[in-house]
Structure formats: structure tokens, C-alpha cells
């Protein structure tokens, strides 16, 4: 089983109130030096069978027509390297 | 024969019974439509009610758009059938691309329920003919994702073509661009808005009865047609 | 790993078992062994431990709750009493209403959003299980100090959770309470009330009868959430590899619950169920044992057929899981197919997990092997009962002696004016719209009154305009000073609120939030509150129909104020006759009903101005409350009053301010003879209300009060855009509004 | 300016109604072969100055105390390689 990740972010020109709320809270939490925060969505799809080009193309289609609303959002699709522990959010980073 | 107005129930629709009540109080015959049923049962117009269709998970209206009933609604709307999308229904109309733009999280990040003053900007649509342009009405507003957004060009186009149907008065409740509360398609048969006219049809339960005009408008229009 | 079967248990009596970790006491464990005649299996131990927990068995509170039944006034209205998921009362015209309040205090502290959300979900399923369509919710809340940093974490999360769940469910939120007090720091109270309506013939009960009938589990899949949540204890799994922690946090899925509601109502409409039970605390352990013990026969369940979200769950965990949005129905074989069809229509997963037998035992198997074999009643109802030691707290005399009468009162009109502003802008007295605007009050289209009215009112029948009204109240400060009186005052206030809106109070639900029952002082408070409430219900003629007990509300040694929250349901024949609180017409006369005394113990004034809590709470006079309610209801029915607002925390000036701001009209007030302006404005004497009387009704209204012997004093007139207390001060409405409305947004916005 | 991405996902054992809703919709959209969908949040932080170990440690702290609710969520923190167009969701993949 392979994992495909679809990241969906609001387009840069669309106001992101959630990201802004995080950013506004940073000083209160004692954080400096973060110029901008954007908040988006991350989908993890567990795909049965091989993730070949055809499968990826279909998932792109899915992202375009369904997971993202391309009127306001951009997206990326990528296969997650199963080994790379750094990118697999299965345990809290400490 | 009375005019038949369909009200779609998606799983998670909440204000469907209220929309049917509003149709009834305006003198029409409400017809319940089911999301899995492509057949519109000879209705003359359709209301997509408020609520959280399919939980509004993913994005509001995103899943409802792909329901069987919407296939027919989209087709008939393109053919000129009057369609009103209220709140979640507005979101479904945008997701379906029957109306331009999208609805995003309220800028203050909270759900907001309040009595909202609106200015009727366009009294020529199928759903607003009983109002006069410039008229002020008050109806409930309740949503968490009601911020209307579209790119500048689309916004300019909407304004130029008189397709902004309602604007918020007395404070923008959700960060909508240019205070837009509701819009219409070019033909004027499809109207979507965030506020809830169906909750302003009885003095007992609503802040006003200003919302009745939506339903009387479409009934008159259909009788004339 | 092999499962612990009943056979295996019989053969291995000496296997050590984790009863202590599951919260059982040694004698409780021994009692289970006695009942079974052998050691329990792991699955049986799981069931007994959750069902015998404080939350499920009421082991500390039972002996006191009994009074609610024993002292209950005879009431024709009561259709179903204490013991079922919720009580049911007759509201006339063939309709019945069911309502109940529950707590979700501890989960809401750990995870405010989900804790509060699932609190709404749970109480709604209780109402649904009675056969009713849920029609509204309310949320009595208590938080720590308004300006404490943790309150900033807890309150917005709780409010968003209640809104997020309730709004998505399509239930109007018609009222509740928000109280700040540092005693709730580290232990907020999140109580949730739901009310439902049905026709008499639709009442359903939680019982499994009819051998051969199917046991159907429907709704969400079962996951590892909430295991052990109910016992508020560490949840060791039974895995031989050692304990692994499962999360106690349950995540709600309001969409799933909405489907569950619609699906269940359709199933009721076609009369397809013999018995039904929601899955709440203790999940399947509770549902199966309660259904089976209430029914005629036994029950057999194949636990491995339960649809799972996590395939690795052990049978013990499945039995204890508190996954939300599940229900369990008993259906005849003939109706099973139709039942499953309706579930399919609503995309609700439904599974036949077992059947009713003609035996008397609850038998549960796991892949063909028997893992539970018990008399269900021993699990559901024969839990331990404690007569916990009680002791009047040793600090109480000193507290009561510390009278509010010795507090400095305002020296002049300027100070009086300043204190009025301080009062109406204090967090407890300030406008709550920052919170309540996050709740949908319109959905379903039957909301006649909602926050900030005295009670929430729902139209039940569109033809006849029959309606119900509900209010919840509870004043922990009063209860701390005197728990007996405090509980009575909570009831009196809710009762008065319902009457003020024009409805006749009928029945009561309560949520008793207290500290640790192992502390004799807390147990005394609890006993006193129960006694007070039961006595008051008897006098007012309003039976307790059900409720909830929440104990162990404390941080370390420090218990919260005893906080009995009381909900009263009333009925109104024609909702068009409702009395709102707003002063809507200039020139109408303002009358104060009841007696005003110098009563400041536990008052808002003493808290806001002096940060003081001491003395005695206001005097309770239940006969007076009853008379006042009769007058308010009659006056509403006969059109003699246009507005009414009950007086409670903050006294007259608080009530008048709220009614003026709501209506957008000011008032000119005259201090009655024999009262100081200070007492007139701030006293919290119970049994009072202020009403606006149209001039044309003045004589009739006065005559009615006179004939019935209710003291009534003309105190002013609706007028202008200020509140003027003649001879004292004038406050522009704009200034009052600013003070009253800015507080919560400033704190949490 | 460097970009640090914080991915926040519900812990595996916690119910994910959003992911489930997406998954349930897939067959209706004609998608087969996706065994599981989980939906989480993605935060993009634009950091001023160097993203050294100290900066990362602080961001981890931020994630732990604020961006994620560790009662029910796990998170990962990583620096996004500015070159790799594939992972920068700034344009819709096509
Ligand atoms: N404080 C109380 N006052 C009256 N009845 C109560 C109180 N606490 C619990 N009950 C009643 O005891 C019964 C069992 O309660 P509970 O186990 O919490 O029910 P459920 O599991 O359906 O929520 C219910 O009928 C409930 O109404
Ligand atoms: Mg129950």
C-alpha cells in the first residue's frame, strides 16, 4: 500500500483568516521572526496497487475536481517515500 | 393548480423543512426532493436549503455537488429553471459552477448567527421581483463559512452586470468581498445567498417576514410564465 | 493471543486480574466473583468495572436521589419517570415532551472542543432513544475566572464545540448559562440539555423482549476512543504485553448523528422497534446489559460482528468503547429487513449482532467462544451502593457569619451609578451574545423565544400553537452558603423564568455537579442539595423526571462550589401569548412583583464590588414562587402584560437594564417608599419579577394581584433613552449598552 | 526567507470524520482503489533569518503547544527545499 499526499493551499491572493489568526497569536506566544503563516489541508490517501503514472494522473484529476476548489485553491500531489520518517506524521516530533 | 417548488434534502440538510414551510406560506406546493433521486418530479423551481450537506466535510457543498439530484438540477438550471441556493445551497451552487466564486471561512473564524440587514440590489431576478431595488430587509444569517470571494475580474463583472443581488448592511458579518451577500447568474434564474429568507416568514419565529418575498416572487414569475 | 473464555475463567480461578486498575475496590471484585461463582473473564470484568463506576452506577448518590421519587408530587403529567434514558411528560393535545440535562465536565477540560461537542451528542441520543424528535438544546456552563489564561483556552473551545456539533445537527440552541468563578478553574462545568417531543403513542423504552428478536447495532463503527473515559481512570488494556494507553478523548461526528436521528425517526414512524437504547457512557456494556435486564428474556451477542474502525481492538475494548453516534435496537425478525433498508437509505451502517433469548442470561461470544455469561441485572443494576459518611463542613459557620450586611454600601449617587455600571459589565452579568451568536437559534423554524430571554420556547404544533418553554438555573454561590436553600433557589429561579415567559411549569430535570463524594463535607452538601430539591419539587408540584450526577469536580483538595443545575420545562397552550422580556412600548408601566428585602449574601453585587462571598443566601418562599408564577401565567394568557423579566443575580437594575437594552427603550424608575435606592437596585430577594403593563390593563392587573395577595409596587415607566433612577442618577442606554456588551468580546474576541 | 512546513494529522486511532466523508464519496465519483483517506492540516511558515537547529526547535515547540492539539493530533516539522517545485503547492499541478 502506497501513500499519496495531496496538499491543498488557498491561492496566494485569497485571504487566509486561519493563517492570519495563527500569525497574530505568535507574538503573544513569544514568537518572533515568522513573516507569514498560511494554513491549508493535507490529505493522505492510501492507495491499493501500484502508484504508476496512470494512478497519479487519476489522483490529480481527483484533486482538481474534488479535493481542491481551484477557484480559490492550489494543490500538489506527491507520493510519500515510505521510508522517510521525517515526513510521515505518525509520531509527534520532539 | 398550485405551483410546485422542490426542496432538496441532502444528508445533513437542516433547513429543508423550513424552506418547505416558507413555500407553503407563500402559497406554493412544496415538494421534497431526495439527493439520490435524479427525478425532479415535475417541479417548477428548486430550493437548495441550508445545512451541512454530507457534513460539509472537505468543503461546504463539495460533496453535494456530485449527488444524483444535482445532475438534473444543474441541467435544468442551465435551461432556465429558477433555483435558489440558501447558505449551504449557495455553497453548492458555487461548487457546481452555476454561480461564480466561492465561500470561505468567516474572517473572524466563528460561526455567526444574527439578524442581518440587507440591501436588495437587484429586484429583477426570479427570486427578487417582489422587492424593489434599494429596499432594505432583515433576515437571519447563520454560517461559519460565508465569506464570499472571487477574483477581481469576476467581482467587477458581477457588479457591471448587476448580478450582485444582496449586500450586507450594518457591518460585514463574515469578510465577504465588497459586502456581497448574494448573487445571480447572467440569466437571473439562479440566485444564491448566505442569509436565510426562509427563517423570516412568520412574525412568531423570525425577526421579520421580509423573507416571504423570495417565495412569492418565484410563484408569480412561474404563474406568468 | 487467546481470549479469556468463561470456560478458561472457571479453570483458572487464581489468575491475577487488573480490577484495581479498572477502578474496582477489592470488595467489589469479590462481589463479582460471588455473583458469578467463579472469577470473571476479562470481558466480564470490563463490563462490571464500567457499569459499577460512579458515573454509571450512581453508587454514592443513589441513596440520596431516591427522594426524588419518594417525595415526588403526584402529577398526572408524568408519563415516564426516573430510571429511563429521560423522563417523559404529557404536554397535552396528545403530545409528550422528554428532556434531560447531562454533564460532560471532565472531557471538556481535557479537550474543550470535542468534550463539549460529544456532550451535546450524548444527550441528544438519550432524547432520541425515548422515541422523540429532539427539538432544541441548552448549555449551562461554568468556567474559571474570566481573565484567567486557561479560561481563554477552555471557553472558546467549549463554545465552538457546542456550536459545531449542535449547529451541524440542526438543533436550535435556545438558552443556557455562562458563569465565571475561580472555583471552576481546572474544573469547568459543561452541562448540556436536550428536549424532544413526540406523540404519546411513540414513547419507546430501553428493553429487550421477545425471544428471537434481533439486536441491531447501528451508527458509527466502534473505535478505540473513550475507553475508560467513563470510569475516569487509566485504561489498561488486557494485552499480555503490558498496558497500552488508549485515548480517552472521543471525537464527535455530528453529521453521523444527524443521519442517526433521521434514520431512527423513520424507523419509529414505521413502528419497527421493540426496544431501543443509545450508546453513551460504557458503550456496549451498558446498552446490552440494560436492554437485557429490562426485558423479559436473555440476550446473546456475537461480539466479533461489531463493525470496527480499528481491527486490533480486543473484545474487552469493544465492550468498553465509548465511540460516539451509535444506537442499539431490538427488532422482530419480520421487521429486520425493513429496518436495515432504512439505515441503508440514510447511509447508516447497521449490523445484527445478536438476538433476544428465552433464557435469563446475557451471553457474549467472540469468534464462537463464550466470553461473557452473566445475569444482566447484576451488571446493570446491582452495583454497589454506598452510604458515604456526611459531615457538615467545619468552615460553614464562619462563612455564614461573614454577612454581606457589613459590606460598605455606596455612599452617594455617583458611587451608586458607578456600581451599576460595574455590575452590568462584570463577566457574569455582561451580555453573552459573543457566545450565543455562535449558536444557531433559528433552525427548525419553531423557536419562539431564545437567549437572552428568560426561557427558551419552542412551538410544538403549527396548527394549534402548543409550545414548551425551558429554563436552566443554578447558583453555586448560594449553594455554597447553604446547599439546601441553594438547590431550592436554583429550582425557584428556573421555575420563575418559565413562568415569566408565560408557560406553566410542569416538570424538572437536574444535573448535580459536586466535588469528591469521598469528602464527607462534599457528601453533606450533596445530601442537602438533594433534600432541598426534592422538598421544593414537592411544594411546587413539579416532579423530577431525570437528570445526572457529576462528582469528583475538584482540583486537588479544592472542590467546586456545590452546583446543582436545575432545568424546568413548562407548557403554553398558545405560543402567540408568550411574554418576551423586552420593554417595547414607551409609556407602559413598570411593576415590581414580590417583596424586596436587604438580601446580599452571595449576591452579584457582593462579588463584583467586594469580591465577597459570605452570609446566607436569599430566603426561599416557595408558596410565593408559586403564586408569582400563577400571576405571570394568567397575566400572559389574558394579555395584561407586554413584557416580564424575572429578578435574580444582580437584582432589579440588572433586569431592567436587560429589558431596556433588548427593547431599545429606557425607563424612569422611582425608589419605592421604605427601601433605599441601593437595596431597591441590587437586592437579590427571590420570588420577584418586573413586568411592563399597558396603561389600559393597569386596573385589571392590579386587581388580579390584589385579589390573590401578591405584593405589587409601581416602580416606573418605560420612557426615553436613559435609565433614570429618580433623585439618584441617569444612565444613557448607549453607555449601558457599551458597558454591558463589550466585556466578553474584549476577553475572548 | 525559508519555508518551514508543519503537518498536523489526527492520531491514527482518533476518528477522522472528514477523511471518512471524502473516502465515502470516492466511489460515487468513480474512484476505486483508495483504501483509506485521512485529512489533516498543513501550515506553511515563512521564517525570517536562518532556519538552524535552534529555530527548528522553537517551531517544534510552537507546533506542540499551539498548531497541533497533541491530545488528539500528531505533527511533523520540516524545512521545505525551496527548489523542489513538486512539493511547493504554489501552482496547481496539471
Ligand atoms: N440528579 C438526578 N436527578 C434525577 N434523576 C437522575 C439524576 N441523576 C441520574 N438520574 C437518572 O438516573 C437514570 C440513569 O442515569 P444515566 O445512567 O446517566 O442514564 P443514561 O446512561 O441514559 O444517560 C436516568 O433515568 C437519569 O435520569
Ligand atoms: Mg441513555
pLDDT surpasses 80 at D94: no
Instruction: Tell me which of B133-147, C221-235, C270-284, C320-334 is least confident.
Output: C221-235
Using CB atoms, which residue from B58, B62, B175 is nearest to A17? B175
Tell me, yes or no, if the pTM score tops 0.80: yes
Phi, psi of C78 (to 5 degrees): -70, 115
A85 pLDDT tier (thresholds 50, 70, 90): very low
Q: Across the interface, do C442 and B21 touch by the CB < 8 Å criterion? A: no
Asked whether residue A82 carries a pLDDT value surpassing 90, the answer given is no
- Quick check: is C55 catalytic? yes
Q: What pLDDT was estimated at residue C235?
A: 30
Q: Quick check: CB of C65 below 6 Å from ligand 1? A: yes
**Angstroms from D81 CA to nearest CA on chain B:** 28
- CA distances C185 to C159, C182, C229, C556, Å, are 17, 5, 21, 11
Q: Which residues contact C208 (CB under 8 A, 6 or more apart)?
A: C215, C274, C275, C291, C292, C294, C295, C297, C299, C330, C356
- ∠ CA C159-C164-C168 to the nearest 5 degrees? 145
Specify the pLDDT at position D91.
39
Q: Is C4 in the pocket of ligand 1 (CB under 6 A)?
A: no
pLDDT at D82: 61
Are B75 and B115 spatial neighbours (Cβ–Cβ below 8 Å)?
A: no
Q: Which residues of B are catalytic?
A: 87, 196, 198
> Residues C73, C75, C77, C83: is their CA dihedral positive or negative?
positive
Q: Residue C301 — left, alpha, or beta (φ > 0 → left; ψ -120 to 50 → alpha)?
A: beta
The model's pLDDT over C166-222, given as tens digits with 9 standing for 90+, comes to 999 999 999 999 999 999 999 999 999 999 999 999 998 888 889 999 999 999 999
Q: What percent of chain C has pLDDT over 70?
A: 97
Is the per-residue pLDDT at C1 higher than 60?
Answer: no
User: Would the pLDDT of A27 be above 90?
Assistant: no
Q: Is D69 close to C111, i.e. CB distance below 8 A?
A: yes
D38 contacts A43? CB cut-off 8 A: yes
pLDDT greater than 60 at residue C233: no
Mean pLDDT, rounded, for C534-552: 96
- Cβ atoms of C175 and C456 closer than 8 Å: yes
Q: Are C203 and C88 in contact (CB under 8 A)?
A: yes
* Contact between residue C583 and residue C154 where contact means Cβ atoms under 8 Å apart: no
pLDDT for position C239: 39
Q: For residues C321 and C307, give the distance between their C-alpha atoms in angstroms, rounded to a whole number.
A: 12
DSSP C146-179: TTSHHHHHHHHHHHHHHHHHHHHHT--EEEEEEE
Contact C515, C590 (CB under 8 A): no
The pLDDT assigned to C590 comes to 98
Q: Cα–Cα distance between C480 and C400 in angstroms, integer? A: 10
CB C592 within 8 A of CB C688: yes
Put residue B148 in one of left, alpha, beta given phi > 0 → left and psi -120 to 50 → alpha: beta
Instruction: State chain C's mean pLDDT as an integer.
Output: 94
The ligand 1 atom nearest the CA atom of C286: 21
Q: What is the mean pLDDT of residues C116-126?
A: 96
**Radius of gyration (Cα) for chain A, nearest Å?**
16
Q: What is the pLDDT of residue C228?
A: 57
- Measured between CA atoms, the residue of chain D closest to residue A27 is D62
If DSSP states are collapsed to H, E and C, what string results for B74-142? HHHHHCCCCEEEECHHHHHHHHCCCCCCEEECCCCCCCEEEEEEEEECCCCCCCCCCCCCCCEEEEEEE
**Interfacial B residues in 186-215 facing D (CB < 8 Å):** none
What's the mean pLDDT in D7-33?
A: 90
What is the model's pLDDT at position C250?
86
Q: How many Å lie between the alpha carbon of C534 and the closest alpha carbon of chain D?
A: 40
In tens, the pLDDT along C21-46 reads 888 999 999 999 999 999 999 999 99
- Cα separation, D59 vs D3, in Å, equals 11
pLDDT for the residue C230? 40
Residue C246 pLDDT > 70: no
**Nearest atom of ligand 1 to the alpha carbon of C84:** 25
CA distance C629 to C25: 48
Q: Which of B14, B9, B46 is nearest to B196 (CA)?
A: B14
**What domains lie within chain B, and their CATH numbers?**
4-224 (3.40.50.880)
| pLDDT one-digit tens code per residue, C631-644 | 999 999 999 999 99
Q: Which atom of ligand 1 lies at the shortest distance from residue C123's CA?
A: 23
Strands C712-718 and C667-669, by their bridges, are antiparallel
The confidence band for A30, taking pLDDT boundaries of 50, 70 and 90, is confident
pLDDT (tens place) for every residue of chain B, 225 residues total: 689 999 999 999 999 999 999 999 999 999 999 999 999 999 999 999 999 999 999 999 999 999 999 999 999 999 999 999 999 999 999 999 999 999 999 999 999 999 999 999 999 999 999 999 999 999 999 999 999 999 999 999 999 999 999 999 999 999 999 999 999 999 999 999 999 999 999 999 999 999 999 999 999 999 887
CB C546, CB C584: distance < 8 Å: no
Show me where the domains of chain D are located: 2-81
CA C303, chain centre distance (Å): 33
Between D1 and C86, the more confident residue is C86
Rounded distance between C-alpha atoms, residue C250 and residue C232, angstroms: 13
Give the model's pLDDT for residue C242: 34
pLDDT tens digits for range C147-178: 999 999 999 999 999 999 999 999 999 999 99
**Please, is D1 exposed, middle or buried when counting C-beta atoms within 10 Å of its C-beta (0-12, 13-18, 19+)?**
exposed
Ligand nearest C53 Cα, by number? 1
Does the C-beta of C101 come closer than 6 Å to ligand 1? Answer: no
Neighbour count for residue C344 (Cβ, 10 Å): 12
Q: C431 near C743, Cβ under 8 Å?
A: yes
**Residue D87 clears pLDDT 80, i.e. is over it:** no
- Chains C, D: CB contacts within 8 A come to 39
Specify the range with the lowest mean pLDDT, choosing from B161-175, C438-452, C727-741, D1-15.
D1-15
pLDDT at B1: 62
Per-residue pLDDT, B98: 98
Given the DSSP bridges, would you call strands B102-104 and B147-149 parallel, antiparallel or unpaired? antiparallel
Secondary structure (3-state) at C412:
coil
Across the range C659-680, mean pLDDT stands at: 97
Joined together, the cell numbers standing for residue B59 give: 468543503
Computed on alpha carbons and rounded to an integer, the radius of gyration of chain D in Å comes to 16
CB of C277 closer than 6 angstroms to any ligand 1 atom: no
Task: Decide: C254 and C164 in contact? Cβ < 8 Å.
Answer: yes
- How does pLDDT run across C614-633, given as a tens digit for each residue? 999 999 999 999 999 999 99
Of A22, A43, A76, the CB nearest to D37: A43
Calculate what percentage of chain C has a pLDDT beyond 90. Answer: 89
User: Among C443, C455, C430, which Cα is nearest to C649's?
Assistant: C430
Question: What does chain A come to in residues?
Answer: 94
CATH number of D2-81: 3.30.1280.10
In whole angstroms, what is the distance from residue B164 CA to residue C141 CA?
A: 42
Across C517-526, average pLDDT: 97
The stretch C335-357 carries a mean pLDDT of 97
Residue C245 has pLDDT above 90, yes or no: no
Whether the CB-CB separation of C182 and C560 falls below 8 Å is answered with no
Q: Is C512 in the pocket of ligand 1 (CB under 6 A)?
A: yes
C-alpha span between C9 and C36 (Å, rounded):
10
- Protein residue with least CA distance to atom 14, ligand 1: C83
CB C721 within 8 A of CB C731: no
Q: What is the pLDDT of residue C247?
A: 52
Concerning whether C64 is annotated as a catalytic residue, the answer is no
Residues in chain C closer than 8 A to D17 (CB atoms): 251, 253, 255-256
Instruction: Determine the distance separating the centroid of ligand 1 and the alpha carbon of C102, expressed in angstroms.
Output: 8
Amino acid at each position: 500500500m502506497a501513500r499519496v499526499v495531496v496538499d491543498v493551499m488557498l491561492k496566494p491572493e485569497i485571504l487566509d483568516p486561519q493563517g492570519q489568526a495563527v500569525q497574530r497569536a505568535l507574538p503573544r506566544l513569544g514568537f518572533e521572526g515568522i513573516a507569514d503563516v498560511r494554513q491549508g489541508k493535507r490529505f493522505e490517501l492510501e492507495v491499493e496497487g501500484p502508484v504508476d503514472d496512470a494512478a497519479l494522473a487519476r489522483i490529480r484529476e481527483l484533486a482538481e475536481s474534488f479535493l481542491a476548489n481551484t477557484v480559490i485553491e492550489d494543490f500538489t500531489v506527491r507520493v510519500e517515500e515510505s521510508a522517510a520518517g521525517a515526513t510521515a506524521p505518525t509520531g509527534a516530533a520532539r | 393548480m398550485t405551483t410546485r417548488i422542490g426542496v432538496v434534502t441532502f444528508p445533513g440538510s437542516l433547513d429543508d423543512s423550513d424552506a418547505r414551510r416558507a413555500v407553503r406560506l407563500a402559497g406554493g406546493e412544496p415538494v421534497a426532493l431526495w439527493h439520490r433521486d435524479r427525478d425532479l418530479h415535475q417541479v417548477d423551481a428548486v430550493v437548495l436549503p441550508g445545512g451541512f450537506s454530507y457534513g460539509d466535510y472537505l468543503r461546504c457543498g463539495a460533496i453535494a455537488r456530485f449527488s444524483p439530484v444535482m445532475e438534473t438540477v444543474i441541467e435544468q438550471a442551465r435551461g432556465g429553471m429558477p433555483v435558489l441556493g440558501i447558505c449551504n445551497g449557495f455553497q453548492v451552487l458555487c461548487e457546481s459552477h452555476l454561480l461564480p466564486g466561492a465561500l470561505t471561512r468567516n474572517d473572524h473564524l466563528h460561526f455567526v448567527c444574527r439578524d442581518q440587514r440587507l440591501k436588495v440590489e437587484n429586484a429583477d431576478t426570479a427570486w427578487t421581483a417582489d422587492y424593489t431595488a434599494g429596499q432594505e430587509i432583515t433576515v437571519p444569517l447563520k454560517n461559519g463559512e460565508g465569506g464570499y470571494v472571487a477574483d477581481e475580474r469576476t467581482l467587477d463583472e458581477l457588479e457591471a452586470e448587476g448580478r450582485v443581488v444582496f449586500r450586507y448592511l450594518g457591518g460585514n458579518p463574515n469578510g465577504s468581498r465588497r459586502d456581497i451577500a448574494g448573487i445571480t447568474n447572467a440569466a437571473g434564474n439562479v440566485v444564491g445567498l448566505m442569509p436565510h429568507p426562509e427563517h423570516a416568514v412568520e412574525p412568531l419565529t423570525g425577526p421579520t417576514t421580509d423573507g416571504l418575498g423570495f417565495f412569492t416572487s418565484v410563484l408569480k414569475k412561474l404563474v406568468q410564465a | 493471543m487467546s481470549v479469556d473464555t468463561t470456560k478458561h475463567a472457571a479453570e483458572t480461578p487464581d489468575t491475577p486480574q487488573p480490577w484495581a486498575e479498572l477502578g474496582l475496590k477489592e470488595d467489589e471484585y469479590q462481589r463479582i466473583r460471588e455473583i458469578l461463582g467463579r472469577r470473571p473473564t476479562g470481558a466480564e470484568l470490563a463490563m462490571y468495572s464500567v457499569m459499577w463506576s460512579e458515573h454509571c452506577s450512581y453508587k454514592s448518590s443513589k441513596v440520596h436521589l431516591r427522594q426524588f421519587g419518594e417525595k415526588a408530587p403526584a402529577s398526572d403529567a408524568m408519563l415516564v419517570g426516573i430510571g429511563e434514558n429521560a423522563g417523559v411528560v404529557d404536554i397535552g393535545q396528545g403530545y409528550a415532551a422528554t428532556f434531560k440535562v447531562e454533564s460532560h465536565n471532565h472531557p471538556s477540560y481535557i479537550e474543550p472542543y470535542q468534550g463539549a461537542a460529544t456532550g451535546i451528542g450524548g444527550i441528544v441520543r438519550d432524547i432520541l432513544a425515548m422515541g422523540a424528535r429532539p427539538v432544541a438544546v441548552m448549555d449551562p456552563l461554568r468556567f474559571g475566572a474570566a481573565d484567567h489564561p486557561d479560561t481563554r483556552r477552555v471557553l472558546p473551545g467549549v463554545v465552538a464545540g457546542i456550536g459545531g456539533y449542535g449547529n451541524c445537527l440542526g438543533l436550535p440552541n435556545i438558552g443556557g448559562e455562562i458563569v465565571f468563578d475561580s472555583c471552576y478553574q481546572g474544573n469547568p462545568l459543561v452541562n448540556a440539555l436536550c428536549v424532544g417531543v413526540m406523540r404519546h403513542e411513540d414513547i419507546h423504552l430501553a428493553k429487550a423482549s421477545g425471544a428471537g428478536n434481533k439486536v441491531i447495532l447501528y451508527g458509527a463503527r466502534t473505535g478505540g476512543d473513550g475507553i475508560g473515559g467513563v470510569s475516569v481512570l487509566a485504561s489498561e488494556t488486557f494485552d499480555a504485553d503490558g498496558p497500552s494507553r488508549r485515548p480517552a478523548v472521543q471525537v464527535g461526528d455530528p453529521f453521523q448523528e444527524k443521519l442517526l436521528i433521521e434514520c431512527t425517526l423513520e424507523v419509529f414512524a414505521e413502528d419497527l422497534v421493540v426496544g431501543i437504547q443509545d450508546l453513551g457512557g460504557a458503550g456496549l456494556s451498558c446498552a446490552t446489559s440494560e436492554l437485557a435486564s429490562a426485558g423479559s428474556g436473555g440476550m446473546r451477542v456475537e461480539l466479533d460482528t461489531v463493525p470496527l474502525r480499528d481491527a486490533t481492538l480486543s473484545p474487552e475494548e469493544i465492550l468498553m468503547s465509548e465511540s460516539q453516534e451509535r444506537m442499539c435496537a431490538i427488532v422482530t425478525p419480520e421487521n429486520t429487513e425493513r429496518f436495515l433498508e432504512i439505515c441503508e437509505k440514510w447511509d447508516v451502517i447497521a449490523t445484527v449482532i445478536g438476538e433476544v433469548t428465552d433464557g435469563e442470561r446475557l451471553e457474549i461470544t467472540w469468534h464462537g467462544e463464550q466470553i461473557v455469561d452473566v445475569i444482566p441485572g447484576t451488571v446493570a443494576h446491582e452495583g454497589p451502593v454506598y452510604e458515604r459518611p456526611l459531615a457538615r463542613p467545619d468552615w460553614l459557620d464562619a462563612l455564614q457569619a461573614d454577612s454581606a450586611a457589613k459590606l460598605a454600601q455606596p455612599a452617594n449617587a455617583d458611587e451608586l451609578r458607578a456600581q451599576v455600571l460595574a455590575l452590568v459589565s462584570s463577566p457574569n452579568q455582561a451580555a453573552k451574545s459573543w457566545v450565543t451568536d455562535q449558536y444557531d437559534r433559528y433552525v427548525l423554524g419553531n423557536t419562539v423565544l431564545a437567549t437572552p430571554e428568560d426561557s427558551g420556547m419552542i412551538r410544538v404544533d403549527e396548527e394549534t400553537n402548543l409550545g414548551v418553554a425551558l429554563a436552566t438555573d443554578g447558583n453555586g454561590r448560594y449553594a455554597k452558603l447553604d446547599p439546601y436553600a441553594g438547590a431550592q433557589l436554583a429550582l425557584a429561579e428556573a421555575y420563575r423564568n418559565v413562568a415569566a415567559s408565560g408557560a406553566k411549569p410542569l416538570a424538572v430535570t437536574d444535573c448535580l455537579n459536586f466535588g469528591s463524594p469521598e469528602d464527607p463535607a462534599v457528601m453533606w452538601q450533596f445530601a442537602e442539595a438533594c433534600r432541598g430539591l426534592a422538598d421544593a419539587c414537592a411544594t411546587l408540584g413539579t416532579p423530577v423526571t431525570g437528570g445526572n450526577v457529576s462528582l469528583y469536580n475538584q482540583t486537588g483538595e479544592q472542590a467546586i462550589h456545590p452546583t446543582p443545575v436545575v432545568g424546568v420545562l413548562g407548557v403554553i397552550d398558545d405560543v402567540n401569548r408568550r411574554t418576551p422580556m423586552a420593554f417595547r412600548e414607551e409609556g407602559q408601566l413598570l411593576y415590581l412583583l414580590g417583596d424586596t428585602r436587604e438580601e446580599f449574601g452571595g449576591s452579584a453585587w457582593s462579588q463584583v464590588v467586594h469580591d465577597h462571598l459570605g452570609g446566607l443566601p436569599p430566603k426561599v418562599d416557595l408558596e410565593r414562587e408559586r403564586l408569582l408564577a400563577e400571576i405571570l401565567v394568567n397575566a400572559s394568557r389574558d394579555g395584561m402584560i407586554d413584557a416580564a423579566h424575572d429578578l435574580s443575580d444582580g437584582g432589579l437594575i440588572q433586569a431592567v437594564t436587560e429589558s431596556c437594552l433588548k427593547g431599545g427603550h429606557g425607563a424612569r424608575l422611582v425608589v419605592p417608599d421604605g427601601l433605599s435606592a441601593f437595596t431597591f437596585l441590587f437586592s437579590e430577594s427571590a420570588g420577584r419579577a418586573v413586568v411592563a403593563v399597558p396603561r389600559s390593563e393597569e386596573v385589571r392587573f392590579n386587581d388580579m394581584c390584589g385579589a390573590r395577595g401578591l405584593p405589587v409596587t409601581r416602580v416606573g415607566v418605560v420612557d426615553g433613552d436613559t435609565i433614570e433612577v429618580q433623585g439618584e442618577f441617569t444612565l444613557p442606554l448607549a453607555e449601558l449598552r457599551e458597558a454591558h456588551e463589550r466585556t466578553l468580546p474584549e476577553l475572548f474576541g
